[in-house]
Structure 1
Amino acid sequence: MPPVAPPSPLPEFVYKIAPETPPSPIPDAYPLSDLDRQDGFVHLSASWQVPITADLFFKDTPSFWIIKLRLSNFPSDAVKWDEVEGTNGCPHLYGNFGHQDVVSIKAFHRPEGQSWSHVLQGQAAWLE
């Protein structure tokens, strides 16, 4: 994935979709998913990408949690915006996050027959 220029202005928050209940309390180092470990970075989304990411990669998942992270908590060289088809570049965290970076966590449930885009439509205030 080639890097792309980050959006300007940078978003205040980025989001991690977790298909399993996050640990409580969130530890200093969040447990990486198999995909994040394999790829060498934490897959994140900007707010406008969350519905796209959810529909592409979690379309068969009936529920998940979204972890809201403050982007400014990470060094600028730790977050790279990489080209991903259908986006203007997705944020990837080369490192990890922990409880100190988490602003909020929210559970979402998708009724059968609905898309994640439809479910997340009413969440614009939370997905700032």
Structure 2
Amino acid sequence: MADLFSHEIRHWALRHKFDLVTYIPSSPSHFDDRGFDPVYELYQDIFSLESVFQKQDADRPQAQKNKLERLKTPQTFQLKVDFRKKDKNMKMLILDDIYTTGRTLLHARAVLEMAGFQNIYTFSLSR
């Protein structure tokens, strides 16, 4: 799937500059089941990705939840310890694959905002 959209994503990336680009990671159990991280794989040839978040396993994957269940999903992200020392004024981009309710990106953004980061943008392949 990454190859299908790489040209369009590269074109977008050339028009938008960020100091740091990160991504929504798979939960540990999802990664173990698949053997790869789909969001990382989607963007890794286009952006220099930095791993910022640690994700805890949730009760179920977002794809198995309806809209209300997704909106009620508790926070599952934490910042990696070494990341907290970064420049709080840098322009950051969080990447995800599919934006359904926005819950995942909003949780990731909230963790960054609680740590003092303010210049945060998001990008999803599909909405």
Instruction: Give TM-score, length-normalised by structure 2.
Output: 0.31
Determine which structure has the larger helix proportion and give its number.
Answer: 2
Choose between structure 1 and 2 for higher RCO, CA contacts under 8 A separated by at least 6 residues.
1
Determine which structure has the larger strand proportion and give its number.
Answer: 1
Instruction: Give TM-score, length-normalised by structure 1.
Output: 0.30
